[in-house]
Amino acid sequence: MQIDLEKEKQEIEAAFEGLVKSAVHAKKDAATKKRIRKAFDVAHEAHKDVRRKSGEPYIFHPIAVARICAEEIGLGATSIICALLHDTVEDTELTIEDVKSLFGEKEAKIIEGLTKISGVVDANISLQAENFKKILLTLADDVRVILIKLADRLHNMRTIGSMRRDKQLKIASETLFLYAPLAHRLGLHSIKSELEDLSLKCQEPEVFEEIQSKLKKTQEVRTRFINHFSAPLKKALEAKGFKFEMKGRPKSIYSIWKKMSNKSIPFEEVYDLFAVRIIIDSEAENEKSDCWQVYSIVTDFYQPNIERLRDWISAPKANGYESLHTTVMSPTGKWVEVQIRTKRMDEIAEKGFAAHWKYKEGSEESQFDKWINQIRELIENNDANALDLVDDFKLDLFSDEIYVFTPEGEMKNLPSGASALDFAFSIHTEIGEQCIGAKVNNKLVPLSTPLKSGDQLEILTSKNQRPKEDWLNFVKTHKAKSKIKSSLKEEKKEIALIGKAMLDKEFKRLGIKRENISLNELKKHFKETSDIDFYYGIAKNTIQLNHLRDFEVKNGTLKLKRTFPNRLKTYFERKKPVKSERKDEILVIGDNMEKIDYSLANCCNPIPGDEVFGFITVAEGIKIHKTTCPNSVQLMSNYAYRVIKARWIEKEKVDFLTGLKIIGIDNVGIVNNITQIVSNELHVNMRSIKFESYDGIFEGTIMVFVQNTIHLNNLISNLKKVEGVKKVERIDS
């Protein structure tokens, strides 16, 4: 193939000129222009002998990337310079030091970030999770790194055709996995859609073609429908003096495909193929009222579905998106989504936060900065493994948002499905960890209750609270999850230390040298794989040390033995638990009220009927103390995590489930007082509890296990004594 080098040179020059023209957001002073030119020259020189797979000179790629940055993301001169240089350090002789001396510190930092990302992203596909973490870390450094990387990826996707098929597939899946969600979270709507469409086109070419051709075929019908639908609106808007643009925007092919596959429906049944968008010219101070006025005009003509009204003007999304969405009934009986926004809002919606900057000009802290700060905080104190991080984080990236309020009226964005506990953690880690309950719109609700937009929350805390394992079932945010996990891990470690000490003590008692014992053999015997789990099990008594009788001492070391001579059996057996004097009462321990080994503390000598608790000790397993024991305050406050529930129950009697309805006047603490009576004072086991209050009246239903009617009546009369309680009655279910 003969290449006309002279012609090619002209084409390169023309491409660069096109870039300079497109850089409308960059300062246009002579010095800046010179710097951009210099970056181009340096890149051109560095890549001069290289061609892309398509055969064209490599420099076309950085120029195109820089142009995407300028034109489609709205970035300024620094980003354009860095985009031009983005592949130099990685692929050519140029070094970071060179960039630093030629352009400056900032540019060098960004190029370094870009080079680092490339290193990880182009590695093995199974490393995706690690990559994601690294990418997020760079994001926290300078977000321009990610934006340029997105532009780079977009251009690579646009020109993916000349690559090898297996490489295409790898790049496409990575794009869907990492880059599209990132673009979404950064508010780069058009780039996100294009990345998704291009990935689908690469992965499922037939599906893509089919949807595309069906969209084309239905284009005319759609246009007619939109014209018909918008004609009266246009007239009315013009009459009111609005300057506006109205368009029927089809959904992206990828989102149509997603809908088809999620709902297993054919193309023809995807009804919301497009939305009508009304973009108005509006002065900054009139934006909100103008949009609502347009809303009012639209709904004069078409009946809105109130449930699908979305006001992202009063409460913008975390990625900066502002718009007013309504879904209205068209004359043909089809629901149509109408999006109302100003030109400024539209630009932000399409180009994301860079456009945002243009309008805000670094004045107040934008939603976006808040988001970046959250990410930084998250990653910096996260020691979870990368895969967990990705899972939790992608959830944050993809989920829709809700808006809730603190008691002071401060707004918080949370992913949809988030619970009161997520909210607590979003305010402060300590508030989350010590959360015992929440009031949503002044009603006490379980921590697991999913929140709705507009809820106002008050969090109740207690110094003695600690994160529980089951909390993980109802938190959605990455922050809450990672904090709970690390706290549980800490707690487990502390308890495991006790277990280890218990084991050491037992060995000492048996006169066995610790270093002679194979921990692995012990773990294998008890079917535990990690040291922590093994020691934890000992402390929690799920691994009982008297099982050590299955081992024997041979020459001072412990070996699993095949037969169990009686001599050894007694040798290893732990002392028998002290049984209660009153034969009809037994002690049950733990959340599941199991019968496990224990011994009674000497300091307070509890007897059946006493109010008691269990304490995990180093040497003697679970010790039972009276709650009135002189040591109890010290034990509970310093070692709350070693305390476990315990209570006496009558042996022969089986508890039965019954329900109580409580009505009273809502006041602070009433719920707490009631639950205290039920669980603490009367030792009744609660199955479920539900409280509601309206207009100051409070109504609660509790399901409890009681032993007999005497017990039940006793409970009822005690509950009636609680301040504010007016009525307590038994219900059947």
Q: What residues are annotated to the active site?
A: 90-91
Residues 6+ apart with CB under 8 A from 77: 23, 26, 27, 32, 35, 36
Per CB under 5 A, contacts with Mn ion among 87-116 are: 87
Q: For residue 641, give the H/E element and its range.
A: none
> Taken in order 397, 400, 404, 410, is the CA torsion positive or negative?
positive
Closer Cβ to Mn ion, 152 or 528, answer by number: 152
Per-residue binder mask for Mn ion (CB under 5 A), 63-92, x = binder: ------------------------x-----
How many amino acids of this chain bind Mn ion (CB under 5 A)? 2
Smallest separation, CB 95 to Mn ion (Å)? 18
Per CB under 5 A, contacts with Mn ion among 135-164 are: 152
Closer Cβ to Mn ion, 149 or 344, answer by number: 149
Closer Cβ to Mn ion, 72 or 87, answer by number: 87
Smallest separation, CB 164 to Mn ion (Å)? 17
Smallest separation, CB 143 to Mn ion (Å)? 18
Residues 6+ apart with CB under 8 A from 192: 180, 181, 183, 184
State the angle between helix axes of 253-263 and 205-239 in degrees (0 to 180), rounded to the nearest 10: 110
- Between the CA of residue 270 and those of 172, 625, 675, what are the distances in Å? 25, 65, 50
Nearest residue to Mn ion, by Cβ distance, number only: 152
Between CA 706 and CA 703 the distance in angstroms is 10
Between CA 458 and CA 492 the distance in angstroms is 30
Per-residue binder mask for Mn ion (CB under 5 A), 30-69, x = binder: ----------------------------------------
Smallest separation, CB 353 to Mn ion (Å)? 22
Closer Cβ to Mn ion, 85 or 279, answer by number: 85
Tally Cβ neighbours within 10 Å of residue 114.
25
Smallest separation, CB 16 to Mn ion (Å)? 17
Closer Cβ to Mn ion, 80 or 397, answer by number: 80
Residue type, 198: L
* Kind of pairing between the strands at 335-342 and 274-280: parallel
Smallest separation, CB 224 to Mn ion (Å)? 44
Q: How far is CA 518 from the centre of its chain?
A: 41
Between CA 583 and CA 40 the distance in angstroms is 91
Per CB under 5 A, contacts with Mn ion among 357-386 are: none
As a whole number of angstroms, the longest Cα–Cα distance in the chain is: 105
Per CB under 5 A, contacts with Mn ion among 624-663 are: none
Q: Kindly report the three-state secondary structure assignment for every residue of 122-166.
A: CCCHHHHHHHHHHHHHHHHHCHHHHHHHHHHHHHHHHCHHHCCHH
The end-to-end CA distance of the chain, in Å, is 86
Q: In the chain, what are the helix, strand and coil shares in percent, each to the nearest 5?
A: 55, 20, 30
Smallest separation, CB 117 to Mn ion (Å)? 11
Burial of 514 (0-12, 13-18, 19+ CB in 10 A): exposed
Between CA 538 and CA 550 the distance in angstroms is 16
Closer Cβ to Mn ion, 60 or 295, answer by number: 60
Residues 6+ apart with CB under 8 A from 540: 495, 499, 616
Smallest separation, CB 62 to Mn ion (Å)? 7
Tally Cβ neighbours within 10 Å of residue 394.
16
Smallest separation, CB 517 to Mn ion (Å)? 58
Question: Is 117 among the residues that bind Mn ion (CB under 5 A)?
Answer: no
**C-alpha closest to that of 663 among 628, 626, 692, 695:** 692
Assign 634 to helix, strand or coil: helix
Smallest separation, CB 10 to Mn ion (Å)? 23
Report the length, in residues, of the chain: 733
Closer Cβ to Mn ion, 122 or 268, answer by number: 122
What is the tally of helices (H) and strands (E) in the chain? 28, 21
Q: For residue 322, give the H/E element and its range.
A: none
Assign 112 to helix, strand or coil: helix
Interacting residues with Mn ion (CB under 5 A): 87, 152
